[in-house]
Structure 1
Amino acid sequence: MAGPVAVLVSGGIDSAALAVELAGTHPVVHPLYLRHGLQWEETELAHLRRFLAAAERPALRPVSVLELPVADLYGRHWSLSDGAVPDHSTPDEAVYLPGRNLLFLAKAGVWCERHGVSAIALAPLKGNPFSDNSPEFYAAMERVLELALGFRLEILRPYAALTKAEVIRRSSRLPLELTFSCMDPRQGRHCGRCNKCAERHRAFREAGVEDRTEYAAPPR
């Protein structure tokens, strides 16, 4: 059987579903949440904890929250409430968070070394356009982490060939309505207007699965 694994999680469908799926194949799964100080994180983290509790998998450990503030790096940026949140009409490139996977893997890699966990999983999907999501990037990060830490950490991307609709279909028995994909939450609910809400609702339609998400406004 595979050994313990860490999973970089947000409150979104993909990484939350991946954590539960890996809990069926690994004896211990450590969900790692990196808090950057972004405007949706408290709502997202609350949803994530509810989802994982509802999933009830013995292998799942409590969420470990790692602090990694980015205000000094990002400056004035919409993710920090400085500017308009990208809406349903914007392309995927509009929601890019600079260096996100680089920052994630650097900090999470040290956590894994300190806890003796030799594999870490992420949930990027097919068609992810960002430069820190290429096979070359992940191979280079494995090498850099090994050089820096003297520790071999395997980076896993089990959903790299899947679309969001495909993830929803394979995870449709999970309480996906408890996951969270919004960049501009309204009183603990999805806003229904941002780029991520639109992407989420569209993926449920494409999957042919009922979207039971609570939106503050009907998604477009």
Structure 2
Amino acid sequence: MPINNRAVLIVSGGMDSCVLAHYYAAAGFHLHLLSFDYGQKHVKELDYAERYIADLRARYSQLEIVHDTIDLPIAQLLTNSDSALINPERQMPHGHYTDDSMKATVVPYRNPNMLLQAATVAWNEHASVVAYAAHQGDYSQYPDCREEFVDAFNNLLAVAMEGQTIKVESPFMRFTKAQIARLGSNLHVPFEHTWSCYEGGSSGLDDRHCGICGTCVERYEAFKEAGVPDPTVYANDPEQYLHIPGRADA
């Protein structure tokens, strides 16, 4: 039978994943955190995941917190993809997260691939919960971050294994990014140890976020709307892309 206080979480290096991990740890769950190297340009995020997970372990030392990074060959399977996240020849679009140009950052079947790995781990460990940090702001761009996808995936799990009792949860599905930032602040999340930028520290940016890709603008906007201090160093001012629907440089 599943152990009700054990969860398998899909985590990137981003602020949403960091808040997700703290959310379940604060609820008393033992955690197996899974990160994925799927050929993303911003693979730098995985280093930041290690940073905030180290902080999480120190804070919740009474819990078992395991972290693994899994190689997922999505980029190898999508050799002709037009996704700017995995195609080195495709320029990253700049602008607000809701711009149509941001559809270029969609990676086909990314979340189903990750969730299936997580469900397999959960089955092996008799965990009852698999979770990821999809939120309201993802709806417009990413089909596999929508509520109907989560419902369909849970149906798939139920059919795939007789007696299936693992459930995929997305507790932030109806949250805005600002609400996640506010929750993270209440949980004393170390936002300085998170990475959002799709440019991934390339082009001489080092540890500065570019400030002009969709995730940088969304991150900046979330902290601003939440009234939470933003520890991020931006190479460019994200303010120029706030509340300008349809504007993009690429």
Across the aligned residues of Structure 1 and Structure 2, the Cα RMSD in angstroms comes to 2.0
- 2-side partners of 1:2 and 1:123: how far apart? 20
Matched residue, 1:206: 225
Match of 2:50 in 1: 49
Extract unaligned runs of 5+ from structure 1: none
Partners of 1:212 and 1:188 in 2: how far apart?
Answer: 12
Give the aligned residue type for 1:85.
M
- Secondary structure of 2:32's aligned partner: strand
Residue 149 in structure 1 maps to residue 155 in structure 2: no
Deviation at 1:2, TM superposition (A): 4.1
The CA distance in 2 between the partners of 1:215 and 1:185, in whole Å, is: 12
Alpha-carbon displacement from aligned partner over 1:105-126 (angstroms, at most 9, x marks no partner): 1222112212222211111112
Q: CA deviation at 1:85?
A: 0.7
Q: Distance in 1 between matches of 2:91 and 2:170?
A: 31
- Deviation readout 1:137-161 (Å, 9 max, x if unpaired): 2222122223323432111111111
Give the one of 73, 78, 84 matched to 2:77. Answer: 73
Counterpart for residue 30 of structure 2: 28
Larger radius of gyration: 2
Distance 1:62 1:216 in 2: 34
Aligned residue pair count: 219
- Cα distance in structure 2, aligned partners of 1:78 and 1:27: 35
Residue 192 (structure 2) pairs with residue 167 (structure 1): no
TM-score normalised by structure 2 residue count: 0.80
Counterpart in 1 of 2:122? 112
Please give the alpha-carbon distance, in whole angstroms, between the structure 2 residues aligned to 1:154 and 1:102. 14
Identical residues among aligned pairs (%): 31
1:60 & 1:95 partners in 2: Cα distance?
34
1:214 offset after TM fit, Å? 2.1
2:210 to 183, 191, 207: 191
The aligned amino acid for 1:50 is: R
